Structure 1
């Protein structure tokens, strides 16, 4: 690896020779860098050729998207989009075409169009009667109802990644486009003169909604852990009933003593849990409230954020469990836009 520093003395003519410095310390310690395209995962042209361990993906920008497809067995990816404005069909067509174009360009730039684009599935939900000017609260409710009819499997087919199907960004979040969001495509396309730096243009925007958000904290109607816990509790109760039926000759005193002991232990555990929950709740209340009202909530996280459409594919990768919309170090409270700027008033 050779690192040369070139410079020209101020005032010298442009055709004067460059002076070159060759720092020996850097020369002896510099290591060759493998181009991203040379990484083994970038040679994969099908899902079957992808590795099944996260560490083997290196710097692949879609490592979690790829591995979650292998782990859950669900190969379709991409967000569900809600159309909530119906005043201009032509503008809506422009918006949707631009969104798909931005997604394609991003995949091409990152070297993943051949592998991932065949599985990209845009689901656009349109219904003028129920969704025209629908609020984010109404869309969240509709999205949960829509999911309940999709026959999504509860468990993954493999354990390559710690994710269950309902936790995929495709089923946890949806995109919301109202008139204010739709109008942003006008300024974006007007300013776009073919520049490579589209992130610096006036942003084309959508809102992304977390279906589990409520004013009192997250509630997941499809919570797998809760379902398994309830099932486990039912199994234990059934086992205890069977055991009790087989031990009818046990003395009443022993039964009463055991019940009292269990009741005392249960009361102690409940008391400890309540104290812990109260402490956590007090800390959360002090930290989380006191912001300007949005959709009737003064919490820092209001269950949705604005996002720039140029990075819709990067958003999908980001939301794979590591950082949700409630991560204040990553996402901003409206009216700020992820990754830059603010929504026009």
Structure 2
């Protein structure tokens, strides 16, 4: 259980809402803002991007203000959108690299946080362990053409890519991985007289269809229903084992 919830008792998760859990996290660490960092990885259509962000914020306000009745959480949410022409077409690994630099350069540690809480602050806060990657497919899924041109928007749908970047994710960046050299090295090992069958397990190739260079089941990111980003997905990621429990490999979309 998260340190922020350690004194809440065994029935805490079944007796609280996702919004209440986010609220408790903010109170415990003295945080004034929360929310995922969003990386815009599709350039050119600024009007559609503006519509994407509008729909994200409209959904956020509806869920937090009207369903959970937590207007203060809606006011405190900050997406921290990262826009740069060099991000156009960026892979999930590239976004992870940039996100980790952002985390290291902007820890946003609250003033007055005691040393004990500082040990857990970064690892328990989803804002510093997961980020959002939005490519053209994700943007278009959230901003389909209205039924009537110029007509009202329907309920939000679609997905975004959630990238895992916590300290436990220590696999190679497969967008730069040299499979040819890796497989050649493995072939040489098999020919080695000291090679044993126990070494036959492949750390990087689980036989899955390749996605952005990765052949593992867990590619380090997943497609998540955009309507559930806050507070449901955010609150779930406060608990560190949640990724393994929820993970579904693209192109399957995680729906809560």
Q: Structure 2 length normalisation: TM-score?
A: 0.72
- Tell me the distance in 2 between the aligned counterparts of 1:294 and 1:183: 20
- In structure 2, the residue matched to 1:37 is none
- Indicate how the Cα distance of structure 1 residues 294 and 113 shifts in structure 2: closer, same or farther if over 3 A, else same: same
Which whole-Å deviations, capped at 9, do the CAs of 1:65-101 have from their partners, x for residues lacking one? 1221122222311000000111200000000100111
1:324 aligns with 2:224: no
- In structure 2, the residue matched to 1:146 is 102
1:292 aligns with 2:209: yes
- In structure 2, the residue matched to 1:337 is 253
What does 1:31-50 align with in structure 2 at a 5 Å threshold?
none
Higher CA-based Rg? 1
RMSD of aligned Cα (Å): 3.5
Unmatched tracts of structure 2, length 5 or more: 174-197
- In structure 1, the residue matched to 2:185 is none
- In structure 2, the residue matched to 1:84 is 41
Query: Cα distance, 1:335 vs. partner?
Result: 0.5
The 4+ residue runs of structure 1 with deviation greater than 6 A are 191-195, 281-284
What does 1:158-237 align with in structure 2 at a 5 Å threshold?
163-187=120-144, 189-190=146-147, 198=155, 203-212=157-166, 213-215=169-171
Q: Choose between structure 1 and 2 for higher RCO, CA contacts under 8 A separated by at least 6 residues.
A: 2
Query: Cα distance, 1:153 vs. partner?
Result: 3.4
1:117 aligns with 2:71: no
- In structure 2, the residue matched to 1:253 is none
- Tell me the distance in 2 between the aligned counterparts of 1:312 and 1:164: 21
- In structure 2, the residue matched to 1:308 is 225
Q: Confirm or deny: 8 A CA contact 1:302 1:333 kept in the other structure.
A: yes
- Indicate how the Cα distance of structure 1 residues 317 and 284 shifts in structure 2: closer, same or farther if over 3 A, else same: farther
Q: Confirm or deny: 8 A CA contact 1:64 1:317 kept in the other structure.
A: yes
- Indicate how the Cα distance of structure 1 residues 283 and 157 shifts in structure 2: closer, same or farther if over 3 A, else same: farther
Query: Cα distance, 1:109 vs. partner?
Result: 3.8
1:103 aligns with 2:20: no
Query: Cα distance, 1:194 vs. partner?
Result: 7.5
- Tell me the distance in 1 between the aligned counterparts of 2:200 and 2:27: 41
- Indicate how the Cα distance of structure 1 residues 295 and 333 shifts in structure 2: closer, same or farther if over 3 A, else same: same
- In structure 1, the residue matched to 2:187 is none
Unmatched tracts of structure 1, length 5 or more: 1-50, 218-278, 341-345
Tell me, what secondary structure is at the counterpart of 2:18?
A: coil
- Tell me the distance in 2 between the aligned counterparts of 1:98 and 1:134: 23
- Tell me the distance in 2 between the aligned counterparts of 1:156 and 1:299: 39
Q: Structure 1 length normalisation: TM-score?
A: 0.55
- In structure 2, the residue matched to 1:9 is none
Query: Cα distance, 1:133 vs. partner?
Result: 1.3
